Amino acid sequence: MAGLIAPVARLIEEFSKLPGVGTKTAQRLTYHVLRSPVEDARSLSAALVAVKEEVGYCSVCCNITETDVDPCAICADPRREAARICVVEEPLDVLAIERTGEFHGRYHVLHGAISPIDGIGPERLRTRELIERVSPGGVEEVILATNPNLEGEATAMYLADLLAVHVPSVTRIARGLPVGGDLEYADDVTLIRSLQGRRAIER
Ligand SMILES: [Zn+2]
C-alpha cells in the first residue's frame, strides 16, 4: 500500500486475510495495535501461535482438542452414550448443541460440508473417519445435524446413503431451523426442538 511504512503494511495485509475483515477493519486493527502497549501485542501473537501448537484433533470424533488430551473430553466421558453419534460441520456446532444440554451422545465433526461450487467433495471432509468409526457396529443412531442449507442437505444425503449399511437408524434434525441458516447461530429452543423432532431419512 502506497505511503505506508513496511511493518504497518504487513500487519494490515495479515489482518485482511481473516474472514470478514476488509481493508478498512484491517487498518483500524493495525492502528489499534500500534497504540496499545507492547505486552498486549506480545500476548496476542503468543495466543495466535499457541492455538496452532497446542490444539489438535480428537482421534475419535475429529473435534478440536488440546494436543495432550486425546480422545477429547466428550469421547472420554463414560456417561456419554457411545451408540448415538451426532454429526456436525464445525466445532462451533458442538458448542451450540452442548449448550442445550439436550444431547447425551457423542459427536463427529466433519470440518465442512460438501460444496461442488467451491470444489469441496466428501474426500475433503472427515467422512472416512466417520464410516470407519461406525463400521465395526454397535452404533444405534447417527443424527445428521449439518446446517439446513444447500451444502448441509447435500452432505446429509450423501452420508445417509453411506451410513445405511452400518447403522440401524440414520436421522436428520427437524426443520424449524431457519433454512439457509447456521446451527451455531440458532437459539437454544429452536435447536432443542430440532433435535427432539429429528426423523428417519427417507431414501
Ligand atoms: Zn472426541
CA of residue 92 to ligand 1 center, whole Å: 14
Residue 203 pLDDT class (50, 70, 90 cuts)? low
Q: Say what percent of the chain tops pLDDT 70.
A: 94
CA of residue 23 to ligand 1 center, whole Å: 37
CA of residue 64 to ligand 1 center, whole Å: 8
Pick the range with the lowest mean pLDDT from 39-48, 84-93, 112-121, 182-191. Answer: 182-191
CA of residue 49 to ligand 1 center, whole Å: 23
pTM confidence score? 0.79
CA of residue 110 to ligand 1 center, whole Å: 12
How far is residue 166's CA from residue 8's CA, in Å, rounded to a whole number?
55
CA of residue 15 to ligand 1 center, whole Å: 31
Pick the range with the lowest mean pLDDT from 32-36, 119-123, 150-154, 180-184. Answer: 180-184
> Given a cut of 80, is residue 186 above it in pLDDT?
no
User: DSSP letters of the chain?
Assistant: -TT--HHHHHHHHHHHTSTT--HHHHHHHHHHHHHS-HHHHHHHHHHHHHHHHSEEE-TTT--EEETT--S-HHHH-TTS-TTEEEEESSHHHHHHHHHHT---SEEEE-SS--BGGGTB-GGGTTHHHHHHHHTTS---EEEE---SSHHHHHHHHHHHHHHTTT-SEEEE--BTBPTT--GGGS-HHHHHHHHHT-EEPP-
CA of residue 145 to ligand 1 center, whole Å: 16
CA of residue 58 to ligand 1 center, whole Å: 5
> Given a cut of 80, is residue 49 above it in pLDDT?
yes
CA of residue 179 to ligand 1 center, whole Å: 28
CA of residue 184 to ligand 1 center, whole Å: 19
What cell does 153 get? 442437505
Could you report the per-residue pLDDT of 57-87, keeping only the tens digit for each?
999 999 999 999 999 999 999 999 999 999 9
